[in-house]
Amino acid sequence: MLSFCDLKTDSRKGVTLISLVITIVLLIILASIGITSGVSVIRQSKMNRFTTEMNVMQTEVNDLYDRYSNGEDVLNLGNELDSQADEVFTSEASGITDKTGYRYYDQEAIQGLGIDGVEGEFYVNVEKRSVVSHDGFEYEGTTYYTLEQLPNGLYNVGYENRNTGEISFDLSCDNWTNGRSNIQVSNIEYTKGYIDKWQVEYKLEGQEYWSTSEDLSFFVDTPGMYTVRIVNGDIVSEEKQIEAVKANAPEMLDGMTETTFKLPEGDSKGETIRLGDTAFNNNLWYDYGNSKWANSTTEDGSMWVWIPRYAYKITYNNPNDKSQGGTIDVRFLIGTTDQYYDNGGNIKTAKRATSKDEVVDITSDYYVHPAFTDETNLDFANGGWDKEVTGIWVAKFEAGYASGNNDAEVKSSSLNYSNTGVWASPAETGTGSEGSISARNWLDGIYSSTTTAIKYPTFQPITYSMNYIRVSDSYDISRRLTDSENIYGLSGSSTDSHLMKNSEWGAVVYLGWSKYGTNGVEPYVNNINSNNNIQSVYAITGLITDDDYNAIVTQDDIDNISIRTGNAPIVNDDNKNIYVWDQEEGQKSSSTLNMYGVYDLVGGLYEITAGYIANENANLNIHGASLVAEGNISSKYVTIYPYKSPEDTDIDNYKEITMFGDAIKETSASSDLFIASWNDDRASFPALNFPFMTRGGYTSEVHNGFFNFNSTNGTPTYYNGFRPVLVAL
């Protein structure tokens, strides 16, 4: 028996047994490799043929598309779809589920195009420049039906655009959720035909290279200015920009419900949508980048608007004359910090006042608006608060009379809110004196040594604005909106309510004047009243006309307003068109020129603010005792302005102002003859017997606007009202 030890190589005997075995094994391996290689070559050859035929058809369809774009009737070439189409047009197969517009190209139809050597059959949509294989091709376990499905590197067909067309599209941006925002491309229009699939390219300001999204939306996690374009092969749109704005999220308070709007369009008026409604979308609740400010509704139906913390800078049209107007650039701040993102996504730090007498140069850099800052150490010199805040809630409409305020104390059940209803005036509810329609009696007895009952106002559209109110009354009522069993559902332990200060008015109108509001356009004026004389309720919230002059409305007009169903105006007896806050024209009276903004800032009543000069005038105690009780020094609730002497005029006192952020000295200029605010708005600083301040209001056919300020003696009048602010504790 031979053993492996006996197997030796013998030069005289040729190949030994072991050599023979090795040779046979090697031959088997080589044969196996050859067979495998052959199979692979065959498979690859078939794939190459499939890819080539698809490319040939795609090129031909591109040509058909060009002919179609030039007016040729090529859409009916080919045949009706066959039964195989039901299996191909699925998300699992081709990924295309809409068969509309596709034609079946069998061999006869392909030859009719003058194409030779193509053995496959196809479904073609010329309008979409889409080619789909009839049978598909199976490769490594996957069946492919379109060029787009092929693995990377196998699809290499281009399209030369011979018909340059205009491309338009819209951009929108969701509010920030979980640290990111979704930017979306929509409403694409291409004048040379239809394209089924666009790519989105985008980059942050300062970046060199484009990022690409295969979908018509993309997420960003860095605020800043993004440049966006859409492409398809050689077709490239013009570039558009959108800012991914990250404002502080609203701090929801007890009793509040998130509220958004469907804007009016065509023949339809707008709609109010609240959390819990089917149409409410939290991602679209607000979008400050597109002038859609966050809104909420309290239990009584009052509406509130969130003003997020920001820094600002002013550029004057004429630095030597501040009355000539300018632009206000706003940067939203991060939390309660002084930091913000610039357009390139870089974090910067805004400045702030460091002493109470400091005169800041608001043109040199961004300054944190004082309404959001802790000014305890500055003695509240600029109207600040007692802590840093992320934002404030402002009443969407000036205070109005609430239906049902007939009892000594008003419970939540006394108000039944209706979007279309008009609340009754004091005269209509019987709270005025016998035979009179004066509203003054409605307020009598709100505060005395024996009673603490409050008759709550409401802050809703289409209500009679609450007038005939003293400065003290407006201050006291605003402070008590969070009392136990209030009608709003607000909690006194977590919410502060107070009369709007001038700093807070400034915070609203500066944001409104910026690109996040009206972008430098004055809102329309609320110049509607029920009867312009001293014995009547005067203004109505959320209304305008298309005329500069005061418009008188009758009860019939109001009834028509209440039952309106569309965007058409109500025409009053003087043939003036009356528009409501949720109509296309009516919404232009808000701080955003749409339903998301704050209304009645221009026109309506003059709104009393918590600011005055402590010039020892008797009216301070007669009509403003509640404010003066703070001690004649500024507090988080009241701002005391400087004055020269009790005998000085408003111009003299105006020259003493060092405050910033309140839309007074920054947006007006004085001389020996006049004081003028931006846009020729009225400007009258407190002096003599008029130590208190009001904002807004309807003056005449001119001088109305964001930057209107006036003085008052504090007595109750038909043209004075108020608006409160809420802050989370």
Tokens of 724: 């409160």
With the CA atoms of 173, 508, 446 and 494 taken in that order, what torsion angle do they form, in degrees rounded to the nearest 10? 50
Q: For residue 694, what is the DSSP state?
A: E
pLDDT of 721 reads 94
Asked which of 89-98, 253-262, 616-625, 719-728 is least confident by mean pLDDT, the reply is 89-98
pLDDT band at 622 (very low <50, low <70, confident <90, very high): very high
Burial string for 531-556 (b: 16+ CB within 10 Å, else e) reads: eeeeebbbbbbbbbbebeebbebeee
DSSP string of 17-79, one letter each residue: HHHHHHHHHHHHHHHHHHHHHHHHHHHHHHHHHHHHHHHHHHHHHHHHHHHHHTT---TT-SB
% of the chain at pLDDT higher than 70: 83
Rounded CA gap, 190 and 186, in Å?
12
DSSP string of 260-322, one letter each residue: EEEPPBTTB--EEEEBTBTT--GGGS-BGGGTB--EEE-TTS-EEEEEE-EEEEEEESSTT-G
pLDDT of 446 reads 38
pLDDT at 290 over 50: yes
Nearest to 725 by CA among 439, 392, 351: 392
Tell me the sheet residues that pair with 391: 308
Asked which of 88-92, 347-351, 386-390 is least confident by mean pLDDT, the reply is 88-92
pLDDT at 295 over 70: yes
Tokens of 662: 């309140």
pLDDT at 303 over 90: yes
pLDDT at 350 over 60: yes
pLDDT at 242 over 90: yes
Burial string for 499-528 (b: 16+ CB within 10 Å, else e) reads: bbbbbbbbbbbbbbbbbbbbeeebbbbbbb
Q: End-to-end CA distance of the chain, in Å?
A: 103
pLDDT at 437 over 90: no
Query: Of 150-154, 476-480, 550-554, which has the strongest mean pLDDT?
Result: 476-480
Which residue has tokens 């597109």? 290
Nearest to 168 by CA among 192, 152, 144, 145: 192
Rounded CA gap, 528 and 550, in Å?
6
Which residue has tokens 């004091």? 426
Rounded CA gap, 570 and 560, in Å?
7
Backbone angles phi, psi at 311, to 5 degrees: -110, 160
Residues 6+ apart with CB under 8 A from 264: 270, 567, 582, 583, 584, 587, 595
pLDDT at 156 over 70: no
DSSP string of 572-629, one letter each residue: -TTS-EEEETTSTTGGGGSTTSSTTS--SSSEEEEEEEEEEE----THHHHH-HHHHT
pLDDT at 162 over 80: no
* Mean residue pLDDT across the chain: 84
pLDDT band at 98 (very low <50, low <70, confident <90, very high): confident
Asked which of 21-30, 63-72, 488-497, 710-719 is least confident by mean pLDDT, the reply is 21-30
Classify 222 in phi/psi space as left (phi over 0), alpha (psi -120 to 50) or beta: beta
pLDDT at 375 over 90: yes
pLDDT (average), residues 469-488? 93
Displacement of CA 76 from its chain's centroid (Å) = 46
73-82 confidence digits (pLDDT tens): 889 899 999 9
pLDDT of 40 reads 57
Helix (H, G, I), strand (E, B) or coil at 397: coil
CB-based contact 399:466 (threshold 8 Å): yes
Rounded CA gap, 471 and 714, in Å?
5
Task: Please give the sequence-ordered ranges of beta strands (E in DSSP) within 360-432, or none if there are none.
Answer: 367-368, 391-395, 400-401
pLDDT (average), residues 211-215? 91
% of the chain at pLDDT higher than 90: 57
pLDDT at 465 over 50: yes
pLDDT (average), residues 305-331? 95
CB-based contact 197:232 (threshold 8 Å): yes
CA distances from 603 to 312, 383, 681 (A): 26, 24, 11
Ordered domains of the chain (ranges, CATH): 39-149 (no CATH), 167-244 (2.60.40.10), 246-729 (no CATH)
pLDDT at 453 over 60: no
pLDDT of 164 reads 53
pLDDT of 659 reads 95
By CB neighbour count within 10 A (0-12 exposed, 13-18 middle, 19+ buried), where does 178 fall?
exposed
pLDDT band at 632 (very low <50, low <70, confident <90, very high): confident
Q: Which amino acid is at 86?
A: D
Classify 327 in phi/psi space as left (phi over 0), alpha (psi -120 to 50) or beta: beta
CB-based contact 297:255 (threshold 8 Å): no
pLDDT at 441 over 70: no
With the CA atoms of 661, 663, 668 and 669 taken in that order, what torsion angle do they form, in degrees rounded to the nearest 10? -40
pLDDT of 426 reads 37
Asked which of 99-108, 417-426, 468-477, 701-710 is least confident by mean pLDDT, the reply is 417-426
pLDDT of 165 reads 67
Rounded (5°) CA angle 708-714-719: 55
Tokens of 688: 């003599």
Asked which of 125-134, 283-292, 438-447 is least confident by mean pLDDT, the reply is 438-447
pLDDT band at 127 (very low <50, low <70, confident <90, very high): confident
17 or 625, which is more confident?
625
Beta strand 224-232 with 211-213: parallel, antiparallel or unpaired?
Answer: unpaired
pLDDT at 420 over 70: no
395-407 confidence digits (pLDDT tens): 999 999 876 433 3
681 or 6, which is more confident?
681
pLDDT band at 421 (very low <50, low <70, confident <90, very high): very low
pLDDT band at 562 (very low <50, low <70, confident <90, very high): confident
Rounded CA gap, 688 and 693, in Å?
12
Tokens of 588: 């232009």
648-676 confidence digits (pLDDT tens): 999 999 989 999 999 999 999 887 766 78
Rounded CA gap, 504 and 605, in Å?
17
Nearest to 120 by CA among 110, 112, 128, 129: 110
pLDDT of 33 reads 43
Nearest to 178 by CA among 220, 227, 228: 220
